[in-house]
Amino acid sequence: MMAWMAKTRGDLVPPAGVDAPALNLFLIAGVQQLVLSSAAVGSFSGVPLKSDADWDRVRAAAVRIIRAVYGA
């Protein structure tokens, strides 16, 4: 997960005042919860987590969040 985060973030540096480790904590915890929910019930909060397309949607949302915070 950390390797994916580093690859997605690339050369972006968090702006002053952004606590990147704390932000990453929430992102990683969120992804872990999604994986657990996927295995248990196949969805989370009404969003399906079964197909590659479902996970592509999750990845795209995570990338948007990372880039928004890091200023890309």
Mean pLDDT by 10 residues, the chain (72 residues): 74 84 89 96 97 96 86 68
- Is 2 inside a domain boundary? no
pTM attached to this predicted model = 0.76
- Is 6 inside a domain boundary? no
- Is 17 inside a domain boundary? no
- Is 60 inside a domain boundary? yes
- Is 54 inside a domain boundary? yes
pLDDT of 72:
63
pLDDT of 32:
95
Residues 6+ apart with CB under 8 A from 43: 37, 49, 50
- Is 47 inside a domain boundary? yes
DSSP 5-68: HHHHHTT--PPTT--HHHHHHHHHHHHHHHHHHHHHTSEETTEE-SSHHHHHHHHHHHHHHHHH
Domain range enclosing 61: 42-72
Fill in the DSSP letter of residue 71.
T
- Is 7 inside a domain boundary? no
- Is 13 inside a domain boundary? no
Q: How many domains does the chain have?
A: 1
